[in-house]
């Protein structure tokens, strides 16, 4: 099973990925998480772009994702979270998958109003090494600022400010929305109402995937 999760910043791609990966035994490939983990080795330009809410170069991200897809744990299938983010990336992905004799099974399009996203983004806390995601109001940790499992400190992402969110949304509408049309023409897009409670979004995702 190969899935793509598309949606604006804060729409719940990471949150739902963790449910889907456990339920369907898939590998979770999130380019944003990978780029943040590799931040120390990225070029100055790439780091600056991320902090300002723009997109890093296609070459950089395609290299990272192509490498990650080779992991043995990805043999059963994977969830692409945050990739492809442009039509160029989607075309490149097609080429890579065609070479492997596979293709995309489903694109889950997380539909949500922009107005809801600022509260989601500014209230998010993450545990970087595990990727666990919390929210001060909607998914609070047992102890404020501390990961439930490891007891390690949680952090707020550098790009999780109201100002940077504006640029991220602009990039999303301009460059990523055409990706949805690209896959709609192939008949593989399912819209998910992402403005409900996390458990209700999960139920909708499961329903779509079991059809």
Site residues (CB under 6 A) for ligand AP5? 7, 9-15, 31-32, 35, 49-50, 53-56, 61, 82-83, 85, 89, 120, 123-124, 133-135, 138-139, 159, 168, 197-198, 201
Of 6, 11, 13, nearest to 28 (Cα)?
Answer: 13
Closest distance to ligand AP5 from the beta carbon of 175 (Å): 9
The residue (of 14 and 84) whose beta carbon lies closer to Zn ion is 14
* Torsion of Cα atoms, 53 then 29 then 176 then 185, to 10°: 180
In the complex with ligand AP5, the residue whose CB is nearer, 1 or 195, is: 195
To the query of whether residue 124 is one of the catalytic residues in this protein, the response is yes
Residue 52 is a catalytic residue: no
Residue 14 in contact with Zn ion, rule: CB under 5 A: yes
Instruction: Give per-residue burial for 85-116: e unless 16+ CB within 10 Å, then b.
Output: bbeebbebbeeeeeeeeeebebbbbbebeeee
Alpha helix segments (H runs only) across 53-137: 58-69, 87-100, 114-122
Nearer to ligand AP5, 101 or 183 (CB): 183
Q: Does 10 participate in binding Zn ion (rule CB under 5 A)? A: no
Supply the residues annotated as catalytic. Answer: 13, 85, 124, 157, 168
């Amino acid at each position: 099973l190969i899935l793509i999760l598309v949606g604006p910043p804060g729409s719940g791609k990471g949150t739902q990925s963790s449910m889907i990966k456990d339920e369907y035994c898939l590998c979770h490939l999130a380019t944003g998480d990978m780029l943040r983990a590799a931040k120390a080795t990225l070029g100055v330009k790439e780091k600056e772009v991320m902090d300002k809410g723009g997109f890093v170069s296609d070459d950089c991200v395609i290299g990272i994702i192509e490498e990650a897809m080779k992991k043995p744990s990805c043999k059963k299938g994977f969830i692409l979270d945050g990739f492809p983010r442009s039509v160029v990336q989607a075309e490149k992905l097609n080429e890579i998958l065609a070479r492997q004799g596979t293709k995309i099974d489903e694109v889950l399009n997380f539909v949500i109003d922009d107005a809801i996203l600022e509260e989601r983004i500014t209230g998010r806390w993450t545990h970087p090494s595990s990727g666990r995601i919390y929210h001060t109001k909607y998914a609070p940790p047992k102890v404020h600022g501390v990961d439930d499992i490891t007891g390690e400190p949680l952090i707020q992402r550098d790009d999780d400010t109201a100002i940077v969110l504006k640029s991220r949304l602009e990039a999303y509408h301009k460059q990523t929305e055409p990706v949805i049309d690209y896959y709609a023409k192939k008949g593989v897009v399912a819209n998910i109402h992402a403005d409900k409670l996390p458990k209700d979004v999960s139920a909708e995702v499961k329903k779509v995937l079991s059809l």
